[in-house]
Amino acid sequence: MMDAPSQFFFGLERRNNQKKIIHCLRSDDGSSFTKAPEIHRYTTQFYKELFKTELVEDPELAPSFLSDLPHLEASSNSQLDAD
């Protein structure tokens, strides 16, 4: 009888899972996102902006800055560019 699942343990598991979910995000301008598609869209855009490529401002410095870097294969590069 003690090993049988109980309502208490189901409640604990439900609360533990709720802690792992993002329920609301607030943007820089103060607007809130509470629906899952909005949260997904905002986080995707946030990380795209965070990790976007920043071009070197002086074109003469670019070759010296970018020389001798390792290169990815085209298939690996396309996987990394995907959402």
pLDDT in tens, 5-16: 788 888 888 888
| 79 vs 83: CA distance, rounded Å | 9
pLDDT in tens, 28-76: 898 999 998 999 999 999 898 888 866 657 777 777 777 888 888 888 8
How high is the pLDDT of residue 56? 59
| Residue 57, burial from CB neighbour count under 10 angstroms (0-12, 13-18, 19+) | exposed
Task: Give the residue among 17, 54, 23, 21 at the shortest CA–CA distance from 38.
Answer: 23
- DSSP letter for each residue of 25-71: EE-TTS-EE-SHHHHHHHHHHHHHHHT-----SSTTTHHHHHTT---
How high is the pLDDT of residue 49? 86
Taking the CA atoms of 45, 50, 53 and 56 in sequence, report the sign of the dihedral they define.
Answer: positive
**DSSP type of residue 9:** H
